Amino acid sequence: MDTLLLKTFLEVSRTRNFGRASENLCVSASTVSARIRQLEEHLGLSLFTRQHHRIGLTPAGERMERHARFILGAWERAYEDTALSERHQRRLVVAGVASLWDIFLQDWLNGIYRDFPRLGLRAEESTPLRVVEKLERGMIDVGFMYEPPRIQGVAVEEVASVPLLLVSNRARQSVESAIGEDYIRVEWGTTFASLHEGHFPQRLLARGRVNSGRLALNLILACGGAAYLPLDSVKPLLTEQKLFAVEDAPQIEMKAYAAYGLHGEHHKLVADLLKRLS
């Protein structure tokens, strides 16, 4: 199957508009329509509903969207593996949740890029769910996250401790005030949620809820408030007194994990590279 058909399908799915999809793909609207028609004929199924200029996915289209992303990802990886083989001895694909890149993964990646010139690297930020999905499908060589995944044939190593500190843009703020109306709840995972509930069983429902420490930090700096953020990320701001530690607030310790396939072609390389984190 022509990968252009899948790329066109995903762009129409994303924009829900044939005209915008054609502009983004730099082709005519009639070409987009022809590609979608060809894909539907190939599958023998309708992928889109078209009613009064409104486009939506059919149930078959929703299923196809998930598979199309993985098919294109697998093709891209196969292409890169083949193309890079002329210049690089090996290739490594790394994924991790955003905050871990901010805390220690970027330095780890920098060192590998500098010290292994014959190693091709691909790195990406992902949600925890996407990291696990890509591990299961063999689309990445190693994934970093806060919750250890339970996947058959995947090794899991604890690679770092990540202390989370309750910080605020206000000095000498009490714990009760900090977790009050302007508190921003960061979804660090089930372990954090359990510890958080234990410390603050009677807390108010947070007005702001985000799944990224970076988002919470930017909100606090721009609008004020408090949140649990990684100590290493906020140290410079504490020194500059742009943020303040909330006195008497409990520190919550999180663990960072690396997961990689036990039987993948790069499992020995990954295991060796993880030692650089110790």
List, in order of start, the domains of the chain with CATH numbers.
3-81 (1.10.10.10), 90-160+259-277 (3.40.190.10), 162-255 (3.40.190.10)
Q: pLDDT at residue 82 above 80? A: no
Highest mean pLDDT among 129-133, 136-140, 225-229, 265-269: 225-229
Q: pLDDT at residue 240 above 60? A: yes
Rounded distance, CA 234 to CA 102, Å?
A: 11
Residue scoring higher pLDDT (193 or 51)? 193
Q: Alpha helix (H) ranges present in the chain?
A: 3-15, 18-25, 29-43, 59-84, 98-100, 106-115, 128-136, 175-178, 190-199, 213-223, 231-239, 267-274
Q: What is the pLDDT of residue 2?
A: 77
Parallel/antiparallel/unpaired status of strands 252-261 and 142-145 = antiparallel
170 band by pLDDT with thresholds 50, 70 and 90: very high
274 band by pLDDT with thresholds 50, 70 and 90: very high
Q: What is the pLDDT of residue 229?
A: 97
Q: Is 119 exposed, middle or buried (0-12, 13-18, 19+ CB in 10 A)?
A: middle
Based on its alpha-carbon atoms, the radius of gyration of the chain, rounded to whole angstroms, reads 23
204 band by pLDDT with thresholds 50, 70 and 90: confident
Q: pLDDT at residue 271 above 90? A: yes
Q: What does the block give as tokens for 263?
A: 């039987």
Tell the residue number behind the tokens 């598979």, with chain if given: 67
Q: What is the tens place of the pLDDT at every residue in 36-46?
A: 999 999 999 99
Answering whether pTM is above 0.85, one says no
Q: What is the pLDDT of residue 207?
A: 86
Q: What does the block give as tokens for 146?
A: 């806060």
Q: Comparing C-alpha atoms, which of 1, 9, 11, 6 is closest to residue 72?
A: 6
- % of the chain exceeding 70 in pLDDT: 95
